[in-house]
Amino acid sequence: MVGIEGLYFVIASTNRARFVRPGPDNNLHTVRVVDSITVAGPDMRNGGNPVPPSPADAEPNRFTRLLADRINDDFAVDLFVELVLVAAAEVLNDLLSMLDGPTSASLIGSLAKDLTDVPDLELWPHLRSWVRPEDGV
């Protein structure tokens, strides 16, 4: 089991998401980026590679559903204890409705704004209200 790391920002759009953490260098860092192919993680039936999308994957909210599952799984394996979701309003509302109970309980905030293309060094003004000194920034 992975050690609990603390604060986790998930910055999402309709087809891509970034997982961001505060670092010991007083900056925010993207630790993972996922898209509609990689969001579900490796499929051991496919040699550990992501499964290519099927026509069913084109359904509305498919990425958001897979992202919510990924966030729920990350919480279940102790990758974080506090969560902040950042996404355009429609995506954010969908994500919030898809989180399971334990993951929802870890939610300390949300921001209805698409920051997926904002570089790490420019995230601070948007996310600073959730970062405490003990989080590393």
Q: Is residue 43 part of a domain?
A: yes
Nearest to 99 by CA among 6, 5, 1, 8: 8
Q: Is residue 1 part of a domain?
A: no
Q: Is residue 54 part of a domain?
A: yes
Q: Is residue 81 part of a domain?
A: yes
Q: What is the pLDDT of residue 5?
A: 64
Q: Is residue 2 part of a domain?
A: no
CATH number at residue 74: 3.30.420
DSSP-assigned letters across all residues of 67-126: HHHHHHHHHHTTS-SEEEEEE-HHHHHHHHHHS-HHHHHHEEEEEES--TTS-GGGTHHH
Domain count, the chain: 1
Q: Is residue 36 part of a domain?
A: yes
State which residues form the domain around 90.
7-135
Q: Is residue 92 part of a domain?
A: yes
Q: Is residue 121 part of a domain?
A: yes
Tens-binned pLDDT, residue by residue, of the chain (137 aa):
333 468 999 999 999 999 999 988 878 999 999 998 888 765 434 455 555 555 545 566 889 999 999 999 999 998 999 999 999 999 999 999 999 999 999 999 999 999 999 999 999 999 999 987 655 55
